[in-house]
A = this chain, B = another copy of it.
Amino acid sequence: MMDLAALKIDIDGVAIEENPQLVQQKSRDFYWYSPVLKRRLEGVTAAIVARPKDEEELLLVIGACFRNDVPLTVRGSGTGNYGQAMPLAGGLVLDLSGMNRVKAVKAGTVVAEPGAILAEIDAAVRPSGQELRMFPSTYHTASIGGFIGGGSGGVGSIRWGGLRDAGNVVRVRMAAMDGSIPTVLDLTGPDIHRVSHAYGTTGVITEVEMPLAPAVDWVDAIVSFPTLEAAVRHGETLAGADGLLLKNVAVMDAAIAPFLKRHESYLAEGEAFVVLIAAAFAMTDVVALATRAGGRIMMRSDRLDEAERHRLPPAFELAWNHTTLRALRVDPSITYLQVLYPQPDIAGKVLTMAQLLGDEAPTHLEFVRFDGAVGCFGLPLVRYTSEERLDAIVKLHEDHGCPIFNPHRYTLEEGGMKQTDALQLAFKKRSDPKGLLNPGKMIAWDQPDFDYGRPYLFPSLSA
């Protein structure tokens, strides 16, 4: 039985928070992107938040949770939007924002504590001429540990692929929930998958080593196209241009323009557009390719006056889930989906779905490298009416060969490929024998024979 009183004695000296309002704040992430999760997870809260300042304190907290049977849910900055960091079983939220140091900058890699903010890591490595390979659009607030534990890729994935790809995480140091004195392991190579994108269900990341790319002068640009098809095909062309140093390529339907208020003077009414980030020295080629494809350059940040450049948010804050965020701010009824448009004929699949759904789900694409080829994720905005209709839209995609990573589910499996990650499950049996780490997020642990025909409901939650 969970013994919170004993826990508090055991972790004496570590900063904690028990004020219910503040604890609830720290028990929430960006789950409200989803009206479904918003309803399901609204009441979720921990009993206590602990904020260790270093690995020693962190191990003390984990050991105390083990000893006193207290569920532990790890939190970086809480910018995930699958409810990853929400403590379904209550207990303790482990807030890692106090462990935010950049510990070493090397030639090619950086070593940091899990709570280090992505933008701050970049600031620390910049003097060495380096930068992170990839980051989510929440670059200015997200933590590196949270990105590895709950993210998958983002800005930069057009060159480097996703976090899951070999080489994109060099080393992860983690603590297991396996005793009063937790085991600490340094994972490299494929062993990293034991904790990456596991929502903290298999261990707590205490340190990471990430590969770096050269720091480049990046230019933000917007290219407008008369049709969605032309924009999609141009996005695919850019994604396949091996010699073009790009950091991001997003394609948006004309219907998305009204949500990007601060860029409205650079968006043509009724036109689809591509938002891209390219190396300054690649801009000649970017402009030439765009023009050939029938596009018009509406904005390039290297040609703006300084005041205007400072007024505009960076292009990556128009992309990935920031597109959704901007739409939500204008129209709270909007949500989104996460789609994979597989090869071959990416453009054909995108256009089919766009035609089937029309203005109910305006197209938003992010091009990436996926298994050594051009990959395309969709994050269509969805004008939400009901959970039933949302499920029907999910099914429509699946019926047309486009898998959905459903952001309206809080479990690893339902937000992913709907199958057990055998590696993570096997590891969890050793690293978390009591099942205290982020309970309710790994269906394979709670209910190995679960039927994915209906949504999973953790026992403590109502439908």
Contacts and interface: CB of A to CB of B under 8 A. Distances in A.
What is the count of identical protomers in the complex? Answer: 2
Given A108-B216, A108-B281, A280-B108, A371 B166 contact: no
A167 B372 contact: no
B281 A166 contact: no
A2 interface: no
A213 B279 CA distance: 12
Interface in A184-217: 188-190, 211, 213-214, 216-217
Contacts of A281: 106, 108-109, 170, 211
A167 B109 contact: no
Given A289-B166, A373-B372, A282 B211 contact: yes
B371 A240 contact: yes
Interface stretch (A242-250, A260-268, A455-463): A242-250
A242 B374 contact: no
Interface in A113-150: 129-130, 133
Interface in A279-299: 279-282, 284-285, 287-289, 292
A217 B165 contact: no
Contact of A242 (B165, B244, B288): B165
Given A159-B242, A162-B243, A165-B242, 19 more contacts: A107-B216, A108-B216, A108-B245, A109-B281, A160-B243, A161-B242, A165-B241, A166-B241, A166-B288, A167-B245, A170-B284, A188-B285, A189-B287, A189-B288, A211-B243, A211-B282, A214-B214, A242-B369, A242-B372
Interface of A: 106-109, 129-130, 133, 159-162, 165-168, 170-171, 188-190, 211, 213-214, 216-217, 239-245, 279-282, 284-285, 287-289, 292, 369-374
